Structure 1
């Protein structure tokens, strides 16, 4: 059993993470960041949940770049092949569920 106070979590670098669970090849990780990530495509599906702060998620759909502002409680689902990059507005904490070893 584990209790995690997500708003108290802070990593020593942008996108630093705390592993929460690994189940059947799927990882659940809590990330802290104050910097954008990089454009990437995951090896599988990804669920991205904003727990604290705001994140502007940029993604490409049919070759065109789009973006959406994600607030606390918002969820971004990246299907297989979705190219995306997260840009936090200040500090943000996010829960990421994805295939173990994914980018």
Structure 2
């Protein structure tokens, strides 16, 4: 990882793909990822880890399936939310959003249990951030 400060807005400006997270840095065995979101992701769950969301810009809704029902948590800019491990969830950003995610390195963006992955969603463990001196692995 790079020992320089990272400007998140510059990092976000370095790519255009939606639902395709970039690894900004690592903290111990966790990735700090950023992503652009627009439209709907897909229903999925991470069986062994929680998933942390911070909305950097725009608004993100996260539908959750829990206790036999569904609910939606809406996150405006600056809001955080943690999806508990094993909880099926479906992020969406109809108007577009920029988000920061915090999860164990190697966590697949579509979870361990998911529906068919639509073409606009990147099934990845994160991509290296395209900047001088950056390395995701």
Q: TM-score, normalising length from structure 1?
A: 0.87
Match for residue 33 of structure 1?
37
Give unpaired runs (5+ residues) of structure 1.
none
Choose which of 9, 12, 15 in structure 1 pairs with 2:12: 9
Which one has a bigger Cα radius of gyration? Answer: 2
Structure 1 residues 16, 39: CA separation in 2 closer, same or farther (over 3 Å shift)?
Answer: same
Deviates more, 1:15-24 or 1:5-14: 5-14
More strand by share: 1
Give unpaired runs (5+ residues) of structure 2.
109-137
Deviation at 1:34, TM superposition (A): 1.4
Deviation at 1:7, TM superposition (A): 7.4
**Aligned Cα RMSD in Å?**
1.8
- 1:47 equivalent in alignment to 2:47: no
User: What SS is found at the alignment partner of 2:45?
Assistant: coil
Match for residue 101 of structure 1?
106
8 Å contact 1:6–1:51 — kept in the other structure?
no
8 Å contact 1:15–1:37 — kept in the other structure?
yes
